[in-house]
Each structure stands twice: as C-alpha cells, then as structure tokens.
C-alpha cells in the first residue's frame, strides 16, 4: 500500500492500490531515435490487449534521467503490461513539439511519457490538443487538466544516505558535488546530500558546481577536476562525467539515477537509484481502469514507496568503508522506510554554489 508523506509541497495523486515491488532500475538503455521503429508500435505480440505507450525523451538515453524512465517502460513491456516504442534526443522545444504532434496524430498511443523540463510550454500545448491521450511528463510545474500528469525524481532520501557515507569517508574534510543546474528538482537532491554529510561530519565542507546542462559529460568532468584541485577527496556525480574524474584520481564517488558501479568498480561507493516502475504502474493502471486524470505523481518516487533507494554499498572499493559507518547508514535507511525519519526537502540553491558552462 502506498503511503503519503507530508514532505512534498505539491498535491499528490490519490493511491490507486498499486502493489508494485518492481526490481530496481538498472543501466542498459538502448534507444530508438527519430521515427525508426515507430511504425510497428501496434504490431507487437499482444499489443492490442494492452495500452500502447510512446516515450518521448529530450536527451540521448545514455543520460541517466531519461534512461531510468526508459528502463522502467521496457520492464513494464517485458512484464506484458504495455506495448512500448520511443524516440530520444529531442533536444529543442521545436523538435519535441513536432515529434509529439506526429506521434499523437499518427501513432495514436494511449499514453505518452517523457520529460518536459526543456520544452514545458510546447509539451503542454500538444497535450491540450489531444485530450484523449494520457500524458505523463517529468516537470517542475503543476498538473494540467484534463490529461497532463507530472512526475519527478524525488530522491532526497537516498541522497541523504549517500551524504552520510560521504561525510564518513572524507579525509580532507572537503566533498565535491557536480550538478545540472540550480533548479528545485536538482537542489532538493543536492541539499539532501549536504544534510546527510552534516549528520556524520558536521565540520565538512561541501562545494557545489552546476554545469548549466542536463547532459555535458566533458564539462561535468572539468568541474569535478576543479573540485579535486580545491581539496575535495569525495565526489557526488549528480551529472554524468564525474565518475571518470574520480577514477582517474583514485577517489570515492557516488553515482546517480542507476547503479553506476560498473563504470568504476573500485571507486563508486553507491548510487542514488530512481525506480520509475511504481509511477509507470500507477499510470497504466489508471488508464486501463478508465480513471486517468491530471495528477501529481511525485509520491511514487519516494523511498517509502519503493520509488527510490540507495544501491548496495560497494565493499570492494579501493579504500576501506568503515563497518560502523555502514551500520549508521543502514539504521537511518530503516527509519526512512518506516516513516520515523523524513528527509528535509530544501529546494533553494545551495549556499555558495557556483554555475559554469554556457
């Protein structure tokens, strides 16, 4: 049974009775770009018996945020719940708008899922034109009646736990964070991480750099190297590119969205995991039941609802992780899961953070 939380300032979708215990989202995100493969959207086995879903993604699926959504949709298709096709790298508002209108007109899916952050107005305009299609998009805005639901990666809980680990691992007393940009969706994750650091190491300094992009591994790596030059000996890779810098400098690092241990097995301590299956299952169940309406789906990403978690702590790193530190983190995780501890939600830009890049 899904449990509500008082942490979110938004209005949430009423629980639909979804009892999903889906496996955590892993990496492995191939993609269809443009219209390739779109014509067979309704020709797959069983496609006529389940809702058809089209994924429309602004970034390449190698970018973990969209990759996590894509992986959950692939998982739902493998379980026989949906027929699924997708397109990615719709990186401008015009491209997203044209693609959505083409998908809605020609493919006529039951559901369109994607990310609207870089094309908010365009996506909402298309949704208005096709009220019979259920739209569910990652967005920092409110839901839009009658058919535009919103979700986001509410991952402050695993961020807090990762911060606790980082605070216990730093020897220099300085920890570096590289994030996308200082928007509420990113700030609450970074601030959750900082709060966790403060629990285990109140005297530590956390430096935060934003690269002003959701996907620019080269700039993210440069920002990480700058943090290292400034004394950071533990890194949080909120964006792709940071893990490479940590590996080259033999430093502990925390991944994001999917378990990124395979990128640097001796250096990735853990990763913040976003499991989109509870969100996907809620959307599909509502469409099948004929009850879908514009809603905020945020609660499905909370750890208490299995929508996010901390990847298993990697004890095979090139550096020791103290057993008592792991015990502290596991104890706090139990408190989050049973509801006795609620990670603070702070969506303001972290104090002293800097923004680089174009």
In this structure, is residue 6 part of a structural domain? no
The pair of three-digit structure tokens given for residue 172, joined into one six-digit string: 């220099």
pLDDT at res. 64: 79
In this structure, is residue 290 part of a structural domain? no
Pair (139, 217) in one structural domain? no
- Across the beta sheet with 52-56, what order do the strands follow? 83-87, 52-56, 111-115, 134-138, 148-151
Pair (143, 170) in one structural domain? no
- The structural domain count of the chain equals 2
What's the CATH code of the domain at 115? 3.40.50.2300
Element (H, E) at 235: strand 234-237
Burial of 46 per CB tally in 10 Å (0-12, 13-18, 19+): exposed
pTM above 0.85, yes or no: no
Q: How far apart are CA 190 and CA 155, in angstroms?
A: 10
In this structure, is residue 328 part of a structural domain? yes
Give the residue numbers spanning the domain of 74: 32-151
The pair of three-digit structure tokens given for residue 158, joined into one six-digit string: 């695993």
In this structure, is residue 11 part of a structural domain? no
* 125, 151, 177 - which closes a domain: 151
Residue that the structure tokens 């935060």 belong to: 208
In this structure, is residue 84 part of a structural domain? yes
Pair (203, 338) in one structural domain? yes
In this structure, is residue 165 part of a structural domain? yes
Least confident span in 44-53, 92-101, 273-282, 328-337: 44-53
Share of the chain above pLDDT 90, in %: 75
Pair (113, 258) in one structural domain? no
* 151, 173, 190 - which closes a domain: 151
150: β partners:
137, 296
Pair (164, 269) in one structural domain? yes
Pair (126, 228) in one structural domain? no
- Cis geometry, peptide bond prior to residue 146 (ω within 30 degrees of 0): yes
- Mean pLDDT of the residues in the chain: 87
Average pLDDT for 21-35: 36
Pair (207, 343) in one structural domain? yes
Pair (242, 169) in one structural domain? yes
Average pLDDT for 348-353: 92
Pair (248, 116) in one structural domain? no
The pair of three-digit structure tokens given for residue 261, joined into one six-digit string: 């241990």
Pair (259, 145) in one structural domain? no
In this structure, is residue 202 part of a structural domain? yes
Pair (128, 171) in one structural domain? no
Segment 212-221, tens digit of pLDDT: 988 889 999 9
Segment 229-283, tens digit of pLDDT: 999 999 999 999 999 999 999 999 999 988 999 999 999 999 999 999 999 999 9
Q: How close are the terminal C-alpha atoms of the chain, in Å?
A: 44
Closest CA relative to residue 243, chosen from 258, 227, 259, 221: 221
In this structure, is residue 280 part of a structural domain? no
Share of the chain above pLDDT 70, in %: 86
The pair of three-digit structure tokens given for residue 159, joined into one six-digit string: 């961020």
Segment 136-179, tens digit of pLDDT: 999 989 999 999 999 998 999 999 999 999 999 999 999 999 99
* 151, 181, 214 - which closes a domain: 151
Residue that the structure tokens 């990763």 belong to: 271
Pair (123, 78) in one structural domain? yes
């Amino acid at each position: 049974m899904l449990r509500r939380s008082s942490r979110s300032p938004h209005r949430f979708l009423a629980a639909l009775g979804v009892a999903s215990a889906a496996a955590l989202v892993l990496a492995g995100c191939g993609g269809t770009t443009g219209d390739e493969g779109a014509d067979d959207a309704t020709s797959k086995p069983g496609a006529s018996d389940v809702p058809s879903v089209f994924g429309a993604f602004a970034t390449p699926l190698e970018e973990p945020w969209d990759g996590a959504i894509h992986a959950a949709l692939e998982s739902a298709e493998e379980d026989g719940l949906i027929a699924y096709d997708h397109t990615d790298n719709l990186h401008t508002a015009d491209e997203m708008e044209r693609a959505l209108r083409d998908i809605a007109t020609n493919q006529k899916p039951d559901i369109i899922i994607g990310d609207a952050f870089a094309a908010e107005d365009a996506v909402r305009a298309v949704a208005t034109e096709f009220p019979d299609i259920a739209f569910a998009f990652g967005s920092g805005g409110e839901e839009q009646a009658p058919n535009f639901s919103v979700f986001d990666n509410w991952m402050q809980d695993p961020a807090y736990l990762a911060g606790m680990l980082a605070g216990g691992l730093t020897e220099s007393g300085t920890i570096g964070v590289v994030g996308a940009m200082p928007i509420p969706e990113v700030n609450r994750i970074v601030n959750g991480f900082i709060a966790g650091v403060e629990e285990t190491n109140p005297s530590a300094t956390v430096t935060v750099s934003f690269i002003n992009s959701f996907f620019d591994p080269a700039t993210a790596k440069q920002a990480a190297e700058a943090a290292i030059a400034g004394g950071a000996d533990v890194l949080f890779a909120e964006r792709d590119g940071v893990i490479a810098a940590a590996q080259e400098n033999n430093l502990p690092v925390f991944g994001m969205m999917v378990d990124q241990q395979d990128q640097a097995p001796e250096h990735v301590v853990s990763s913040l995991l976003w499991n989109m299956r509870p969100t996907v299952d809620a959307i599909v169940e509502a469409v099948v039941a004929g009850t879908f309406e514009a809603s905020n789906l945020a609660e499905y990403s909370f750890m208490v609802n299995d929508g996010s978690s901390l990847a298993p702590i990697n004890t095979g790193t090139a550096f020791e992780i103290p057993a008592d530190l792991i015990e502290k983190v596991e104890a706090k995780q139990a408190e989050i899961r049973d509801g006795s501890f609620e990670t603070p939600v702070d969506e303001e830009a972290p104090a002293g953070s800097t923004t680089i890049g174009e």
